[in-house]
Structure formats: C-alpha cells, structure tokens
Amino acid sequence: MLRRWWGRHGVAIMLGSLTLIAAWLLRITQGATIFEIYQLITRPFQSVPAKEESLSNARTLELQQQVEELQTQNQKLKELLGYKKTQNKLRIVAPVVGRSADNWWQEIILGRGSEAGIKKDFVVMAPGGVVGRVLSVTPHTSRALLISDPTSKVGAVISRSRSMGFLGGQGTNRAIMQFFDKVPNVRPGDAVATSTVSQLFPAGLPLGRVESVILDKSPAPEAIIELTAPMSYLEWVIIHPNDP
C-alpha cells in the first residue's frame, strides 16, 4: 500500500521539496547560487566571439585614451612654443620630471640642465605667469623653488594702481601680498605682477590676481592673491635668464 501511495504522490512531493529548497536558497543567497548554477550550465554554450569583441572594445578605449593624452600634451607644447616665439632672448623649454619628496608644493625637478644652458637663479615660467626660480643645476636636470613656497618673497605691484608690496607663498595656489602703503589702492580682480623692487625676477612678469583684500590687517594691509600659473599640475615650463 505504501508503494502504491508513493507511486501516486512521490513525484509531487519531490517537486514540492525542490521548490522549497530553491526558494530557501534564493532567500539566503540573494539569487547568487542559482545564478552560478545557471552560469555553470550555460558556460559551454557562451559565444567565444563575444569575449573577443569585449577585449577588442577595451583595447579601443585604451587607444582612445592614449590619443587624448597625446593631444593634450601636444596642445601644451604648442602653447609653450607660442610663448617662446614672442620672446627675443634665450628661452628653454623643459619638462617637469619630479617634485621634492618632502615638500610636494615647494620644489620641482626639471628635465634640462647646464648642458641646455640653464644656470642658477634663472626664472621659471609657465602659461599664466611666474612659477619660480632655479636653485641648483646639474648637467641634465635643474631644481627650482616655487613662488608658492612659504619662504619665497617676491616684489609685487598692482598693475592698475601701481601699489607695491611683497608676495609671500603659502604652500598652495594662493599667496599673500603685504603692501607698503597703509591704504593701498587695490580691489578684487586686480592683476598682480613682479615689481622693480624684486631682485630675483625681472619687473612686469604676471603673478596672479587679487582674490580678496584685508585692509585692517596688522602690521600692514594684505590681499589674498590667486596665482595664475598652474602650480598644482605643472608638466612643462619655460626657463630664461633673470634679465630686465
């Protein structure tokens, strides 16, 4: 009798049990186990060309990124060469090949040295304005101190009003200009350049723009200057002698 009963109801019981087990697995594993079983069953039937197409697409994207990077580098070199053509004196284009390990913002290593004509105290420029000056030179490299360095002091002037002072680095792309006058003629947006007071840089080189002014600052009025040279992502620079 038991065998006859199992013959009638056994298949239904097995199907019901499998359904309950599948539901339990789905709840516990969020469907991951069933998906893995599906992948295992269907793997022999997956299309090999589809995998090759995926790899080909990835390679195409990689090549596109390389082309974009080369185009960007080419544009930067064109800008530097355009700047160089506007100058009559010695101008040396150099790549930035490193930064000081102990002071990321303050010093950069350049991939040109004395064999290219670079000397100590040469001025370092980039599109936008002054970057810094050369501290030391080897035959094939140079080390330059940025004007963003807290020890850097540059004679500066407000181009519009000729109010003068000193520009001091703050370790970022912002600098502080302290004025000689008690009530300087300065306002946000004013352009700032090197002045005749500066002994390390020729006068008239662009430094940045006034971001804000603090006239009641003691002992002298101050202005926060946004440096116009891209200090944080320098890749190429122009180097030239410190001549007026």
pLDDT tens track for 200-235: 899 888 999 999 999 888 888 999 999 998 888 888
What is the pLDDT, as a whole number, of residue 137? 96
181-188: average pLDDT: 92
- Write out the residue range of the structural domain in which residue 37 sits: 2-46
146, 167 Cβ separation under 8 angstroms: no
Tell me phi and psi for residue 132, to 5 degrees.
170, -155
What is the pLDDT, as a whole number, of residue 169? 92
What is the pLDDT, as a whole number, of residue 67? 61
What is the pLDDT, as a whole number, of residue 234? 86
Are residue 40 and residue 117 in the same domain, yes or no? Answer: no
Are residue 99 and residue 33 in the same domain, yes or no? Answer: no
What is the pLDDT, as a whole number, of residue 90? 76
What is the pLDDT, as a whole number, of residue 33? 54
CA distances (Å), origin 40, targets 33, 34, 37: 11, 10, 5
What is the pLDDT, as a whole number, of residue 242? 84
239 contacts: CB under 8 Å, gap ≥ 6: 91, 92, 93, 94, 110, 112, 118, 122, 123, 124, 125, 134, 142
Asked if residue 55 is part of any domain, the answer here is no
Tell me phi and psi for residue 33, to 5 degrees.
-65, -45
Asked if residue 58 is part of any domain, the answer here is no
| 219: preceding bond cis by omega (within 30 degrees) | yes
Confidence of residue 42 (pLDDT cuts 50, 70, 90): low
135-159: average pLDDT: 93
Asked if residue 81 is part of any domain, the answer here is no
Are residue 34 and residue 102 in the same domain, yes or no? Answer: no
Amino acid of residue 83: Y
Give the per-residue SS3 of the chain.
CHHHHHHHHHHHHHHHHHHHHHHHHHHHHCCHHHHHHHHHHHHHHCCHHHHHHHHHHHHHHHHHHHHHHHHHHHHHHHHHHHHHHCCCCCCEEEEEEEECCCCCCCEEEECCCHHHCCCCCCEEEECCEEEEEEEEECCCCEEEEECCCCCCEEEEEECCCCCEEEEEECCCCEEEEEECCCCCCCCCCCEEEECCCCCCCCCCCEEEEEEEEECCCCCCCEEEEEECCCHHHCCEEEEECCCC
Q: Above 90 in pLDDT, residue 142?
A: yes
147, 207 Cβ separation under 8 angstroms: yes
Are residue 19 and residue 96 in the same domain, yes or no? Answer: no
**pLDDT tens profile 170-180:** 988 899 999 99
Give dist(CA 38, CA 88) in Å, integer: 73
Number of domains in the chain: 2
Q: How far apart are the first and last CA of the chain?
A: 115
Q: Above 90 in pLDDT, residue 114?
A: yes
Taking alpha carbons only, the member of 110, 115, 112 closest to residue 132 is 110
What is the pLDDT, as a whole number, of residue 220? 87
* For the chain, percent of residues with pLDDT exceeding 70: 61
78-95: average pLDDT: 67
CATH of the domain at 111: 2.40.10.340
Are residue 102 and residue 41 in the same domain, yes or no? Answer: no
- Mean of all residue pLDDT scores within the chain: 77
**pLDDT tens profile 100-109:** 766 555 899 9
Radius of gyration of the chain (CA): 33
130, 164 Cβ separation under 8 angstroms: no
Confidence of residue 40 (pLDDT cuts 50, 70, 90): low
127-139: average pLDDT: 92
Among 11, 29, 46, the domain-final residue is 46
77-96: average pLDDT: 68
